[in-house]
Structure formats: structure tokens, C-alpha cells
Amino acid sequence: MIDISEPQGSISVTADQLLSRTFTFRVAKNDTVISEDFVFHKNGFLIGYSHRNEMFWEMDGACVNILDQNGGITCQLSSQPGPDGLIRLGGYFRDPASDYAQTGNFHILEENSSDSHTKIQSFDLFDTLVARRCYDPLEIFRIVERKSGVANFADKRHRVEMSMFGHRPYGLDDIYDIMVADAFLTEKQANVLKWMELEEEWDHLFPIGDVVARVNADDIVISDMYLPYAFIERVLREKCGLGNKLYLSNYGKHHRLIWPEILDTYELRSHFGDNIQADIISPSSFGIGVNLVTISKWDRTEEILHAIGLGPYAHAVRETRLHVFDPNIHIRHALNAQASVNIPLMILGTFWIRHLAEQQGADKILMAARDCNLWHEMVSSRHFAKAGMPQSDYVRISRSVCYIESAEYEAYLQGKLGRQNLLVDFVGTGRSLGMIIERMGRRDAITPCVLIGEPKLANATELRPETLILKDFHTHRIFFEALNASLDGSAVLAVLDNHRLSVLTQDNEFSDLARTIIAAMRETFGHFMSGLDRFDPPQAMPTLDALKSAADAIAELIPAWGPKLTALQREQKNNLSLGNPFNAVKIA
């Protein structure tokens, strides 16, 4: 039995070698075989065998890390002596339930003779590899009706298709031919509306990043779809960036007709799809492994936005969430949290700020660096200007400059003021904001606002900020600080430079991984912001009570995200001391 605690020299395999082999996964104790179908995927997934403790992998110098569902390392594998030059890796299991403490269980991966790694996967296309921005496919018909001015087109288009569905093979031309035969459309109208429908389909389709990333070069795509083959193939090529073989039929999957042909041609490992009948029950009846894809459905935060009348924002959030992917699991978790939690909360916070501005008669909004580095772009956007949002400015502010008396800094900050102002931070106690407001004697002109404050603020007797929600720091706020981390330096001092005011900043000390995560989160936020140009703000804003209730519901999702954001949280904790007034004095 192999039972060692140290690597046996540098690892002798490359990622390409791991990808081109099938491994047996066993525990050295009692020589227990867990799986003989352990296969590595190029984008960090584990296929063949998968468990919440072994879901992803990464190369780590001379080792291979096996990662759990949260991205934690559950086993660090190193090279072990193997028979006949076969690859063998081993390492001790680290228990996630015990904070990844090393156990006495030694895990072994050893190359076997199986060709399982050569088996291919098959994928559905719509709502699996691509999604529609409008979510409901019938909305395409309603858009065509609205743009064309042909009354009742959407209803007629749907009824004609349903009259053929399940009864005979049909294509898009057949649908429009029947509408012409029924004298609902002229031939010219049919041609015009058919091309309009295809254009709308094209404009609304976008790739689902997480599923596209699972496709290997030899995998195939099988779609039960009535749209033209050339159109579907173009979707696959140009929307997904995939050149895989495409199989297209009306009912090939649904009626179980296509699987014998597929199995005669390919060694099929598993099928991915969203339809219970066509993609799960049908292939399962042929012994094919199946993966139900539900990612394109509404998630909890999108449902919350819908519930308070912010449907268009829910659509934009969903598109952003489905768009994101990164092979690094820590980056991917951060991007998913950005799309599923942070951006939705910023949307609610922006409407909250709009309400406060109206209540306070504010003509200027000051957004605090650095936690508001993303939120400021939303508040100051053209989109929310249409909703009557006052002018906003991004101000260099930190605990340091709020606690250290400085005529220069007060001049800088007061130079940003309007007649009535909201001084806004994302998370915090609000004490720093209150301190600088009181010292400047501008309590009558500046209202401090904190989107997420601490519960004890509710009983504060000092200058209390307006808050959207109150949440405990360690279970909620620190994660939002991490999700809004900025590469900007922290303001530490204002100085005069040739009679001009300048705010000195202290550099962050983020690791390379953290910097990559922060840049990727900003890119994800930018993707969402680009979607705001597609629609206008609602004429009737949600009430303050509705916003508070929705924000509280979204914030309650954060503790469940905690284990997935440990890498980002750790970086943020390391940076909490930056901006401390005592450190700032030393630097200045």
C-alpha cells in the first residue's frame, strides 16, 4: 500500500497528458476503488466521475489540485512511482467539513487502459448552449408583430406551429406557407415577416458561457428545431464559437429516432440538454448518461427583480449571469456572485438613491471611493439620468481622510458639493461619513447614505446615515466589500501642489489572482451596463418598502455564497487595514 506524505519529485506529466488518459481513482486504505472513469476536461471540469468533493482540477506548479464545488483544494496530487511508466498521482484527502484539514486517507489516481476519455458528449442547442435575451420564445413573435404592424401575428404564428407540432415534420417555410394559404398573410408579407423573425432570433441569442466551455472539439450538437439548418449552424459557429458537427431535426430526440444513428456513429459518454423529454428521458432509454441543464432559468435574484416590477433589469442580469465564464473556479465564482447578487443589489440601491434624492431635494450625489467604484457608473449612467437621477461625482474618501483633520481635504470635498447632497457609501457604519460632515459643519447640506449598514446603527444617537438594509459585517458586508473591490488606491491625505489640491493615495496590496478577479468583475459589470441601453427606466419606480424588502432578500443569499468566495474574502481581509488612519499617517 502506498502511504507517503511528501511528493516523489517533480510531477512528470503535463495537462495534455492528463487530458489524453483515463484514470482509476482509489483510496489506498483497503485499496478501495471509487471510479475507473476519472477523466480531466480542458476547462477544469472533472467528467466521468464527479462528486461535490471532486468537481474541478488545476495545475499548481509540480502538483495537480483536485477542487471541490466551492473551489477548495481537497487533494493535492504529486507524482508517485508507477508500473511500466504509467502515470500515477497521489495525495492526502483534505476534508472540507474540517476546514480542509489533511486526513489520513491517501487518494491515488493511476492511468488505466480504458479509452473512456475518447468518448464524446452531445449537446442540445437552444437553452443549453445559447439562450434568448427575451427568455420567452413567443416574445420573438410579439416583437415581430409590434414592429411590422400586422395585428394578431404572434397568436396566429404560434397556433399554426402548434397545429403541426408532433404531427409531421415541418420547417419555418411550412409555417409561413400555411399563414399565406389561410389568407392571413400575403406572399410578400410572409417573406418580409419570416426574415424579420430570423433577424429577431439572431439579435436575441447569446452563448451560455458555462455550457459552451464544456464542449470538446469532437463533441456533437443535436437540436430538435424548425429553423433552417444554415441559420442554426451559423448560430453555433458565430454565437458560440464552435465548429462542431450539427444534427438537426424536428423530433429526432423527442421521439427517440436519432439515438440509434448517433450510437452507431459515436462512442457517446453523455448528453446535455434542458428538455425533460427530449434531452433526459429519451437518451436515458438508450443507456446514455444525461445532464439536465437548468442554468437558463430565472435565478432567485432575477425573480426578486421581477416581483417588484423591474423585469427588464432581470432580463439584463440574466444575460450577464449566463454570459460569464472563466476556467479558474475562483474567478468564476466571483463573476457569478457579481451577476447574481452584487449587480441586482446595485440596481435596487440606485432606485433607493433616486427616492432619497427626491425626498431630500438633493441636486448632487457624491459616491465614495472605492466601494462605489462600480456603483457610481450605474448611478451616473445615461440610463438613470432618464429616471431623473441628479448629477453624481466620484469622490476620493476613506476612513483616513475622515478622521485626520485637514483644511486641504475639506476644501477638496466641499468643492464637490451641490446645494443639497447625498454622500453615499456601499457598506459600513457611516461613522466616517458622519465625522467629516460634522467637522465641516455641513450637516444641513449633506445626508450620509450607506446601502448596507450594521444593525447597531438602528439605535445610534450620533449622525445616523440613511440605510437601505442593515446586515452583520462578517456574514454579509465583508463579501460586498470584496465584490466591490477596486484597484484604485485608498485616499490618505490631501495636499497642495502648486496651489492645486491633490489627494494622495495608498496602493493596494492585492495578489495577482485578486487583481485578475477584480478586473474580471469590472468586465462583467461593464457587460451588464451595456445592456441598459436597450430599454428605458420604468415610469413608476418601486416603492421604498418594496426596494428594502427586495434588497434584504438578495443580501440574505450572501452567506450561502460565502464558501465560494473565500479567496476573494481573504484578499479583502488582508486589505482592511489599508485606509486605517494610523497606517495612513505613517505613509503620508
pTM assigned to the model = 0.92
SS3 letters across 224-285: ECCCCHHHHHHHHHHHCCCCCEEEEECCCCCCCCCHHHHHHHCCEEEEEECCHHHHHHHHHC
404-454 pLDDT per residue, tens: 889 999 999 999 999 999 999 999 889 899 999 999 999 999 999 999 998
> Most confidently modeled of 197-201, 255-259, 459-463?
197-201
Query: What percent of the chain is helix, strand and coil (3-state, nearest 5)?
Result: 45, 20, 35
Residue 579 has pLDDT above 70, yes or no: no
User: In this structure, are residues 476 and 558 in contact, taking their beta carbons and an 8 Å threshold?
Assistant: yes
Q: Give the pLDDT confidence score for residue 543 in this predicted structure.
A: 97
Question: Which fold would CATH assign to domain 120-292?
Answer: Rossmann fold (3.40.50)
Of 104-113, 179-188, 456-465, which range is least confident?
Answer: 456-465
Q: Give the pLDDT confidence score for residue 502 in this predicted structure.
A: 84
Closest CA to 550 of 310, 385, 315, 375: 310
78-100 pLDDT per residue, tens: 999 877 889 999 999 999 999 99
Residue 497 has pLDDT above 90, yes or no: no
Residue 2 has pLDDT above 50, yes or no: no
Q: Give the pLDDT confidence score for residue 84 in this predicted structure.
A: 80
- Band (pLDDT 50/70/90 cuts) for residue 588 is very low
Q: What angle do CA 181, 186, 188 make, to 5 degrees?
A: 130
Of 28-42, 349-363, 497-511, which range is least confident?
Answer: 497-511
Residue 40 has pLDDT above 80, yes or no: yes
Reduced to 3 states (helix: H, G, I; strand: E, B; else coil), residue 38 is strand
Task: Show the cell assigned to 451.
Answer: 446601502
- Band (pLDDT 50/70/90 cuts) for residue 375 is very high
- Band (pLDDT 50/70/90 cuts) for residue 3 is very low
Q: Give the pLDDT confidence score for residue 372 in this predicted structure.
A: 97
Q: Give the pLDDT confidence score for residue 511 in this predicted structure.
A: 87
DSSP for 269-328 reads: EEEEES-IIIIIIHHHTTT-EEEE--TTS--HHHHHHHHTT-HHHHHHHHHHHHH---SS
Ramachandran bin of 127, using left for φ above 0, alpha for ψ from -120 to 50, beta for the remaining angles:
left
228-243 pLDDT per residue, tens: 999 999 999 999 999 9
Give percent of the chain with pLDDT exceeding 90.
77
Residue 584 has pLDDT above 60, yes or no: no
Ramachandran bin of 300, using left for φ above 0, alpha for ψ from -120 to 50, beta for the remaining angles:
alpha
Who has greater pLDDT, 498 or 223? 223
Residue 516 has pLDDT above 80, yes or no: yes
User: In this structure, are residues 220 and 244 in contact, taking their beta carbons and an 8 Å threshold?
Assistant: yes
Q: Give the pLDDT confidence score for residue 368 in this predicted structure.
A: 95
> Most confidently modeled of 159-173, 192-206, 251-265?
192-206
Start-to-end CA span in the chain (Å): 60
User: In this structure, are residues 44 and 328 in contact, taking their beta carbons and an 8 Å threshold?
Assistant: yes
> Most confidently modeled of 233-242, 248-257, 493-502?
233-242
Q: Give the pLDDT confidence score for residue 459 in this predicted structure.
A: 67
Who has greater pLDDT, 478 or 328? 328
Of 28-32, 286-290, 420-424, which range is least confident?
Answer: 28-32
Backbone angles phi, psi at 154, to 5 degrees: -60, -45
482-491 pLDDT per residue, tens: 999 998 888 8
- Band (pLDDT 50/70/90 cuts) for residue 269 is very high
User: In this structure, are residues 245 and 237 in contact, taking their beta carbons and an 8 Å threshold?
Assistant: no
Q: Which value, to the nearest 10 degrees, does the dihedral of the CA atoms of residues 399, 405, 406, 409 take?
A: 30
* Helices marked H in 7-98: 15-19
Q: Give the pLDDT confidence score for residue 585 in this predicted structure.
A: 39
Task: Measure the CA–CA gap between 546 and 108, rounded to whole angstroms.
Answer: 54
Q: Measured between alpha carbons, how far is residue 276 from residues 214, 246, 252, 254, 284 in Å?
A: 20, 21, 14, 9, 10
Mean pLDDT for the chain overall = 92
Q: Give the pLDDT confidence score for residue 507 in this predicted structure.
A: 81
Q: Give the pLDDT confidence score for residue 455 in this predicted structure.
A: 82
- Band (pLDDT 50/70/90 cuts) for residue 463 is confident
